[in-house]
Structure 1
Amino acid sequence: MRHLPTYGGAVAIESPAPEAPVRILLPQILPALVVGVGSGLLFIGISALSERFQDVLWETVPDALGIGGYSALWMITVLTATGIAVGLVVWKVYGHAGPDPATEGLGGPPLAPGIVPGLLLASALGLAGGVSLGPESPIIGANVALAYWLGRRAAPAVPGALWVALASAGTIGALFGTPVAAALMLSEALTRKAGPGSLWDRLFAPLVAAGAGAMTTQLLAHPSFDLGLPTLSDPGIDDLLAAMVIASLAAAFGLLGCYAFPYVHRAFGRLKHPMIMLPLGGLLLGLLGALGGHLTLFKGLEEVKELGEHLGSWSSGELAKFAAVKLIALVVAASCGFRGGRIFPAVFVGAAFGLCAQALVTEVHPAVAVSSGVLGVLLATTRQGWVSLFTGAVLAASPAMLVVLTLASLPAWLIVTGRPQLELDETGGARR
């Protein structure tokens, strides 16, 4: 066997024959199940820990002090304190909480296991403190490191690439609550490195891990992307045109953050020390939170649901402010050294952008507006076409929208392809 490197560090195993026989695939099931369940449990554990701490910071303590949990002063105080806490972890804890997150996508080479505690601690503090980043990158990095380290010791004959693939797929399945996202992401990566053997042979073990991770979170945490949007069962040409326009405009809007990213990262880099970079970043995030309100804090998933549950509660100007503040907060958080992923905050940016468009043109269906806005922003920030399309379709909760979104992705892709994305290379320059 030999292995193929793929996007974000996920690695698929290439069979030596055009079609991997059953005797090769069957032994992969047990390790895939173990890694998938373990990946899901670590994700659930870190999420539960950060949510408990979040309740303390934003409800228990301010209630005890008799102040508003989302008052401007409290937001500035908590986010600045979060920057100090994460700065201490990056400065003093072994491994400095991993590499610079601005240069990391979903994955990367396996980290040393000793780095994992600091990475998870920095991520949990940021999630609880309201930093505009998600859990996906640190969780994938931690699961890959642990699976690779333990797998190589438990079964030295198994290629290390398999453990990386299983952990990446299992975590993606756990994050989205479905193995479909992992299948789309891995298949997109595999098309870049075509080789002999069936695509589904190479996806077999990672999909087992993704399914195990997804079922673990479904059984224990019951994740949901349902925004409660009105269902669009029979989209017409007007819906298609609206989706194409909104997705294209959202993609252009998302590119603003991508173009600014290397400059903001360079500005923070001049400060050099994490105990200056992160507290200053936390202060700026607190000021942005005071400007945009509490919906612009945190990773964005629960806040997106609040947008969907209260359609019509905000003006187009307020929704535009939400989108702009969240995009700026995402760029600042990713530039100053906070550990976290960028997909979930980008989903909030896209949803707010789409609802802003719907508030301006009320004839646009809310499901079209939200899913198209999310599609465009994710295309701009991640360049992951299948995952962007999948996420937009899930939020729309309408199979009929899949055709509309597929067509809407085409002009949006023309806008973003070859442009900077929300990730830097080792020199600090924008990846394209």
Structure 2
Amino acid sequence: MAQDSTRQAPTAPTTPARALLPLILPALAVGVLASLLLLLVSGAAERLQDVLWGDLPDALGVGRYSVLWMLVMLTSTGILVGLVVWKAPGHAGPDPATTGLDAPVLPPVVLPGLVVATALMLAGGPSLGPENPIIAVNVALAFWLGRRLVPRMPGPVWPVLAEAATIGALFGTPVAAALLISEALAGRGTKGPLWDSVFAPLVAAAAGSMTTTLVAEPSFDLHLPPFGRPGWADLLAALVIASVAALLGMCAVRAFPYVHGAFTRLGHPMLALPAGGLVLGLLAALGGHLTLFKGLEEVGELAADPDGWSAGQLATMTVVKLAALLVAASCGFRGGRIFPAVFIGSALGLTAHALVPGVHPAVGVATGVLGLLLAITRQGWVSLFVAAVLVSSPTIVALLCIASLPAWLLVTGRPQMQLRDDGTAVR
């Protein structure tokens, strides 16, 4: 009996190599195509942005980021996106407030409108990133093409490959995708060895990230002053800033259903989106041009001179960008929330540095981003990863892991920044 009680439970059998090998070529193809689509949409949006925010105001003799031009551009962007959502087949996909990174498989007829709406949004200035709609487009393309070209492959494989590939392409590394897929598998209670389950998604993510790296050479390092050995003061700062960031993010999460409901009551995209664009223009007039767009290049401007901004300026940008994210996500613009949250968390961290110079900029930025992303995304591993890569300092990882604990306690089990079809918050 003693021997029987000490026996270990049998482990799940591993997948033989011959079952994994046929997945490699499809995963590589999905990874490359997902990255190229992301680069194509982002590149087109950047060129359009140069015209709308550079060539056009210069030709008209208007300041590029004058209050007048920001109001005109944001409102016009709302009108154009509203037209696409109104008239395009499929209305450019479902209400973005109801979707997350795990995109549904959309019919192919919806995709052109979704791509156009996303490109217009990226170029026009609303505070959203490309991640959610690009993942949705890649998931749909991978599913519909994969089912026809490789019919023997299980259908559910294609969305997973496309999601991993797009995440890898967005961040220029497969690590974020591996962490996201691992977290999703753990939530579903998937049995069997983890690496068998993530093998094909990791191949797709690696192909997507390498394609992006070779073509565009992305970098998330903000080149903040180097952070050395952490001390007790750094630990205290990390705990406080991450918790404050999580609470600030939860304010937006709590307000999300109410703001979304206010725009929904307008009853038509040609009312909700132009109204949202006008509000975003007013917010930009208050916070300045750095609070426009998805925020990745703008946060680089903040980090280039951490001591060049007053605490009041940084706090204003933090609050304005958070409000802009809330409005843009509520009124119907097609976009994701990760990149704006990075700006908000960074600005909050630099506010802490401006108020208390003893707070290292790298600690402030990393823990601010960590707390905001935990509140906005509820993706623990991805939040840790993004916060860590922004400062490229191995010694800060331990601080981030510790700071994530109280921040997670503040957000777990509470409403998420995603709504059901009836307008209530997902928990």
TM bucket (normalised to shorter chain) is over 0.9
How many correspondences in the alignment?
417
| 8 Å CA contact retained: 2:183, 2:381 | yes
User: 2:139 matched to 1:147?
Assistant: no
Q: Contact 2:342 / 2:369 at 8 angstroms: preserved in 1?
A: yes
Query: Where in structure 1 do 4 or more consecutive aligned residues deviate above 2 Å?
Result: none
CA contact (8 A) 1:18 1:196 kept: no
1:80 to 45, 61, 75: 75
Q: What's the secondary structure of 2:168's corresponding residue?
A: helix
- Superposed counterparts of 1:253-264, under 5 Å: 253-264=248-259
Normalised to the residue count of structure 1, the TM-score between the two structures is 0.95
C-alpha displacement at 1:233, in angstroms? 2.5
Q: Answer yes or no: is 1:39 the counterpart of 2:30.
A: no
Aligned equivalent of 2:359: 364
Asked if the contact 2:103–2:132 (Cα under 8 Å) also holds between the matched residues in 1, the reply is no
CA distance, structure 1, for counterparts of residue 96 and residue 65 of structure 2: 28
Give me the identity figure in percent: 66
Deviation string, structure 1 residues 110-149 (Cα, Å, up to 9, x no partner): 1011111100100000000001000000100000000000
Please list the CA deviations of residues 388-429 of structure 1 after superposition, one character each: whole Å capped at 9, or x if unmatched.
011111112101100010000001111111222211122211
2:188 to 165, 174, 193: 193
Corresponding residue to 1:129 among 124, 129, 153: 124
Per-residue displacement from partner, 1:370-390 (whole Å, max 9, x unpaired)?
000000000011110000011
SS of 1:160 mapped into structure 2: coil
Distance 1:414 1:357 in 2: 22
Offset from partner CA, 1:238-286 (integer Å, 9 cap, x none): 1111101000001001111001100000000101100000000001101
Amino acid at match of 1:127: L
Which one-letter code corresponds to 1:382 in the other structure? T
What is the alpha-carbon distance in structure 2 between the residues aligned to residue 18 and residue 282 of structure 1? 54
Aligned to 1:14: none
Looking at structure 2, the residues matched to 431 and 312 of structure 1 have their Cα atoms a distance apart, in angstroms, of 39
The answer for the alignment partner of 1:30 in structure 2 is 25
Q: Residue deviations 1:326-362, cap 9 Å, x none?
A: 0100010010000000100011010001111111000
Structure-2 separation of matches of 1:222 and 1:427: 42
Cα contact 2:82–2:274 (8 A) shared by 1: yes
Aligned pair partner of 2:225 in 226, 230, 238? 230
TM-superposed CA distance for 1:108, in Å, is: 2.5
Q: Is the 8 A contact 2:223 2:391 kept in 1?
A: no
In 1, the alpha carbon distance for the partners of 2:158 and 2:413 equals 32
How far off is 1:66 after superposition? Answer: 1.5
Corresponding residue for residue 420 of structure 2? 425
Equivalent in the alignment of 2:211: 216
Unaligned runs of 5+ in 1: 1-16
- How far did 1:152 drift? 0.3
Give 1:207's aligned residue: 202
1:271 matched to which residue of 2?
Answer: 266
Aligned equivalent of 1:12: none
SS of 1:229 mapped into structure 2: coil
Distance 2:362 2:171 in 1: 19
Equivalence for 1:397? 392
* Letter of the 1:21 counterpart: P
State the secondary structure of the residue aligned to 1:400. helix
Alignment of 1:322 onto 2:307:
no
Return the alpha-carbon distance in structure 2 between the equivalents of residues 109 and 164 of structure 1: 8
Kindly provide the CA deviation profile for residues 279-320 of structure 1, in whole angstroms up to 9, marking residues without a partner as x: 000011011111110000000110111111021111111101
Equivalents in 1 of 2:26, 2:264: separation in Å?
A: 41
Match of 1:93 among 88, 100, 114: 88
Tell me if structure 1 keeps the 8 A contact 2:341–2:373.
yes
Alpha-carbon separation, structure 2, partners of 1:18 and 1:287:
59
**Structure-1 residue corresponding to 2:238:** 243
Q: Which residue of 2 is the match for residue 7 of structure 1?
A: none
* 1:323 CA drift (Å): 0.6
The answer as to 2:154 corresponding to 1:159 is yes
SS at match of 1:275: helix
- Counterpart amino acid of 2:358? E
Match for 2:350: what amino acid? L
Q: Distance in 2 between matches of 1:420 and 1:362?
A: 34
Instruction: Give the drift of 1:67.
Output: 1.5
The answer on whether the counterparts of 2:160 and 2:201 sit within 8 Å (CA) in structure 1 is yes
Aligned to 2:5: none
Q: Does 1:59 align with 2:54?
A: yes
Length-normalised TM-score, structure 2? 0.96
CA distance in structure 2 between the aligned counterparts of 1:95 and 1:305, rounded to whole angstroms: 37
SS of structure 2 residue aligned to 1:107: coil
CA deviations 1:30-70 (Å, max 9, x no partner) are 00000000000000000000000000000101111112100
1:3 alignment counterpart: none
Q: Which of residues 280, 285, 291 is equivalent to 2:275?
A: 280
- Structure 2 gaps of 5+ residues are 1-11
* Alpha-carbon distance in structure 2 between the residues aligned to 1:95 and 1:272: 17
Q: Following superposition of structure 1 onto structure 2, how do residues 288-303 of structure 1 map, counting pairs within 5 Å?
A: 288-303=283-298
Q: Which amino acid aligns with 1:151?
A: G
The amino acid that maps onto 1:202 is: S
How far apart, in 2, do the equivalents of 1:252 and 1:165 lie? 32
1:388 aligned residue: 383
Contact residue 176 and residue 385 of structure 2 kept, 8 A? yes
Matched letter for residue 392 of structure 1: A
* 2:103/2:135 contact within 8 Å kept: no
Cα distance in 2 for residues equivalent to 1:189 and 1:210? 15
Partner residue in 2 for 1:114: 109
Q: Match of 2:142, as an amino acid?
A: A
* Amino acid aligned to 2:253: C
Deviation at 1:236, TM superposition (A): 1.4
Q: Which residue of 2 aligns with 1:8?
A: none
Larger Rg over CA atoms: 2
Cα distance in 2 for partners of 1:194, 1:419 equals 21
